[in-house]
């Protein structure tokens, strides 16, 4: 049924209702002069008779039941799709973007730390660097497949273009370092600069746009189905009016068809309402203790990795002007990490609802504090001229060494991110489960509603023939 016709027929119907007719006779008095509004008057004349009236009601009910069904099913299908989007599309994108950022930060920290150690790189650091680049490349491809914003696509393009340049520079640095030639350090500086000035800002931008894309999808998936609910409530209203009207006109209390139709539509209302309410709840929870939590923890982890990188580069720079700049970077990143008020780690602890995660986060904070103290000690050593001692402390993997503590912190944060990721996936799955069968159910019930009202009114109309 075309929408335009409904609008036209609805208006005379409602104005007619207010005519306060209680008798089962054709209405002539209220008819408008045909000279003034010929078209409207013809319509009223035609619908003025009871069978005409009932036919119109039947048509309206049929349309409303159909519209409710279509809107309801469309809502379930598109919500299901949005939830798929939360888990597969923008969710995967959001996680991929965070992984890219973290892997790149870790690659930088690992490369600088290996250079600080000197000599031939340890297999452990080499493996870690390779793994970081591998993960960054794969997650970049994942992000490229799911990105839908221009800013995100630009960031992915820049990352894709610069990552091979970065790895090329690192390989050059490595080759020269292994030959004992100082130009290797210059390649490392250039690589680190490329990372800081081009790769990490692009990764940050990708993360920002992916994060808001995910949040938007989550918002859309968690809205109430307003259009469907409006149609359903309107259908129920017209059903109620029809039944009251029929009761008044025919003195028969129940019309089985219309009653069945009403029950079906109430069920549609209940099912759709409950399913979308539950789904929205799971989506919100998946955001609060899932994706939003991952973002905070990843921010903390990236701050820790950049602090670690700055610690190494400060020692590599060995007292020059850039040493002071890098030390300032360490202080900034550690400040972000230890900020008890608005720092990401503090916020993550505040938002945490998982009791198993509480000790992990507490330990992460304690580890960051311990590292901060060790850093102060090694900076003091370096300032006093005990460079070798400072480097040893920075590279120490023994208990209380800076390398050990920063690695511990990284592992704890990675563990927390893993756990938040599990929560995110579980809640998204639960949201999807809440909608199971809702599409088919709503569709079938709408058909029952349509059939019931058609059947119920058809019988009344037939009585006039």
Partner 1 sequence: MKTPQRIRRILAVAVACGVLATTAACAADTAPELPLGEAAPPMPVGVQDPAELPEVSEQPDCGDPTASYRPANGLNIAPGSSMAQIRANDVLKVGVDQNTYLFGYRDPSTNDLSGFDVEIAKEISKAIFGSVKVQFKAISSDQRVPFVQEGEVDMVVRTMTMNCARWQDVAFSSEYFRAHQQIAVYGDHKVVETLAELAGERVCAATGSTSIRNIADSAATPVAVPEWTDCLVMLQQGTVDAISTDNAILAGFAAQDAQVKLSTTSLSEEPYGIAINSERRDLVEYVNAVLEDLRGSGRWDQLYQAADRSGNSLQSLLGSASPPAAKYQ
56: nearest Cα among 20, 11, 25, 21: 11
- Residue 78 is a binding residue for partner 1 (CB under 8 A): yes
- The answer to whether 337 and 345 have CB atoms below 8 angstroms apart is yes
Q: Tell me 385's DSSP state.
A: T
* Calpha distance 304→102 (Å, rounded): 10
CB 196 within 8 A of CB 190: no
Cβ-count burial of 398 within 10 angstroms (0-12 exposed, 13-18 middle, 19+ buried)? Answer: exposed
Cβ-count burial 339-352 (b if 16+ within 10 Å, e if not): eeeebbbbbbbeeb
Build a one-symbol-per-residue string for 147-166: x at contacts with partner 1 by CB under 8 A, - elsewhere. xxxx-xxx--xx--x---x-
- Binding-site size for partner 1 (CB under 8 A) equals 61
CA angle 242, 246, 251 (to 5 degrees): 155
Q: Select from 86, 68, 70, 72 the least CA-distant residue to 220.
A: 86
- 3-class state of residue 464 by DSSP: coil
How far is the C-alpha of 461 from the C-alpha of 464, rounded, in Å? Answer: 6
Closer by beta carbon to partner 1, 78 or else 363: 78
Yes or no: say if 162 and 199 are a contact pair by the CB < 8 Å rule: yes
Closest to partner 1 by CB, 84 vs 284, is 84
**Nearest residue (CB) to partner 1, 142 versus 369:** 142
Contact 253, 247 (CB under 8 A): yes
Which segment (131-139, 349-357, 386-394, 457-465) binds partner 1 by CB under 8 A? 386-394
Measured from the CB atom, the residue of 378 and 391 that comes closer to partner 1 is 391
Q: Which of 22-30, 51-59, 104-112, 142-150 is the region at the interface with partner 1 (rule: CB under 8 A)?
A: 142-150
**7, 33, 119, 355: residue in contact with partner 1 (rule CB under 8 A):** 119
Residue 74 makes contact with partner 1 by CB under 8 A: yes
Among residues 8, 58, 82, 10, the alpha carbon closest in space to that of 261 is found at: 58
For partner 1, the closer CB: 183 or 462: 183
Whole-angstrom distance, CA of residue 461 vs CA of residue 53: 9
Question: Per CB under 8 A, does 70 bind partner 1?
Answer: yes
- Which segment (141-149, 294-302, 350-358, 445-453) binds partner 1 by CB under 8 A? 141-149
Q: What token pair was written down for 20? A: 């306060």
Q: Is 71 in the site for partner 1 (CB under 8 A)?
A: yes
Residues 186-215 that bind partner 1 (CB under 8 A): 186-187, 189-194, 197
Q: Are 327 and 390 in contact (CB under 8 A)?
A: no
Among the listed residues 102, 110, 113, 177, the single contact to partner 1 using CB under 8 A: 177
Q: Which position among 80, 99, 295, 327 is part of the footprint of partner 1 (CB under 8 A)?
A: 80
- Cα–Cα distance, 100 to 419 (Å, whole number): 19
CB of 81 to partner 1, least distance (A): 5
Q: Which is nearer to partner 1, 170 or 413 (CB)?
A: 170
Q: How far is the CB of 312 from partner 1 (least distance, A)?
A: 12
| Interaction of residue 176 with partner 1, rule CB under 8 A | yes
Q: Which of residues 264-323 bind partner 1 (CB under 8 A)?
A: 317-323
- Span of 12-20, 63-71, 344-352, 355-363 interacting with partner 1 by CB under 8 A: 63-71
Applying CB under 8 A, which of residues 10, 59, 62, 116 lies at the interface with partner 1? 116
What is the residue whose two structure tokens read 């409950």? 274
Q: How far is the CB of 357 from partner 1 (least distance, A)?
A: 33
Instruction: Determine which residue in the list 63, 101, 115, 424 makes contact with partner 1, applying CB under 8 A.
Output: 115
Applying CB under 8 A, the span of 233-241, 331-339, 381-389, 425-433 interacting with partner 1 comes to: 381-389
Please, what is the minimum distance in Å from the beta carbon of residue 73 to partner 1? Answer: 8
User: What's the rounded Cα separation, in Å, for the pair 426 and 420?
Assistant: 10
**Stretch 26-45 residues interacting with partner 1 (CB under 8 A):** none
Please report where in the chains the tokens 């923890």 appear, as a residue: 297
Applying CB under 8 A, does 2 fall inside the site for partner 1?
A: no
DSSP secondary-structure letter at 343? -
Q: Which stretch binds partner 1 (CB under 8 A): 22-30, 176-184, 371-379, 396-404?
A: 176-184
219 or 339: CB nearest partner 1: 219
CB-side neighbour CA atoms (13 Å) of 334: 23
H helix or E strand, kind and range, residue 408: helix 402-434
* Secondary structure of residue 339 in the 3-state scheme: coil
Contact status: 220 vs partner 1 (CB under 8 A): yes
**What is the contact surface with partner 1 in residues (CB under 8 A)?**
67, 70-71, 73-74, 77-78, 80-81, 84, 115-120, 147-150, 152-154, 157-158, 161, 165, 169, 176-187, 189-194, 197, 220, 227, 317-323, 384-385, 387-388, 391
């Amino acid at each position: 049924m075309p929408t335009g016709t409904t609008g036209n027929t609805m208006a005379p119907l409602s104005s007619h209702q207010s005519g306060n007719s209680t008798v089962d006779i054709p209405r002539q008095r209220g008819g408008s002069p045909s000279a003034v509004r010929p078209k409207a008057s013809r319509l009223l004349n035609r619908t003025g008779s009871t069978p005409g009236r009932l036919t119109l009601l039947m048509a309206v009910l049929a349309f409303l039941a159909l519209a409710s069904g279509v809107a309801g099913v469309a809502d379930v299908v598109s919500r299901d799709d949005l939830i798929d989007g939360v888990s597969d599309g923008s969710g995967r994108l959001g996680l991929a973007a965070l992984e890219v950022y973290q892997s790149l930060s870790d690659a930088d920290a690992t490369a600088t730390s290996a250079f600080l150690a000197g000599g031939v790189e340890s297999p452990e650091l080499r493996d870690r660097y390779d793994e970081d680049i591998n993960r960054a490349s794969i997650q970049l491809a994942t992000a490229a497949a799911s990105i839908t914003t221009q800013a995100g696509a630009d960031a992915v393009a820049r990352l894709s273009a610069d990552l091979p340049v970065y790895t090329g520079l690192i390989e050059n640095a490595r080759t020269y370092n292994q030959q004992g030639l100082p130009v290797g350090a210059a390649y490392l500086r250039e690589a680190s600069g490329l990372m800081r000035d081009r790769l990490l800002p692009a990764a940050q931008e990708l993360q920002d746009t992916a994060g808001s894309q995910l949040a938007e999808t989550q918002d859309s998936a968690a809205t109430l189905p307003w259009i469907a609910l409006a149609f359903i409530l309107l259908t129920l209203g017209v059903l109620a009016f029809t039944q009251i009207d029929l009761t008044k006109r025919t003195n028969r209390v129940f019309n089985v068809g219309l009653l069945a139709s009403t029950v079906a539509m109430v069920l549609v209302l209940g099912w759709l309402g409950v399913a979308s309410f539950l789904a929205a709840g799971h989506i919100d929870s998946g955001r609060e203790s899932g994706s939003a939590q991952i973002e905070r923890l990843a921010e903390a982890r990236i701050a820790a990795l950049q602090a670690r990188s700055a610690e190494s580069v400060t020692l590599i720079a060995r007292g020059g002007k850039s040493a002071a700049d890098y030390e300032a970077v360490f202080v900034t990143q550690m400040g972000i990490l230890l900020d008890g008020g608005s720092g990401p780690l503090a916020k993550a602890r505040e938002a945490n609802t998982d009791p198993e995660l509480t000790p992990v986060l507490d330990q992460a904070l304690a580890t960051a504090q311990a590292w901060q103290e060790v850093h102060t000690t090694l900076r003091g050593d370096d300032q006093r001229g005990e460079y070798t001692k400072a480097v040893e402390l920075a590279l120490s993997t023994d208990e209380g060494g800076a390398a050990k503590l920063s690695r511990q912190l990284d592992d704890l944060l990675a563990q927390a991110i893993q756990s938040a990721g599990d929560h995110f996936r579980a809640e998204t799955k639960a949201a999807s489960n809440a909608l199971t069968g809702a599409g088919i159910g709503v569709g079938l019930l709408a058909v029952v509603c349509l059939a019931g009202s058609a059947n119920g009114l058809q019988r009344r109309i037939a009585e006039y023939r």
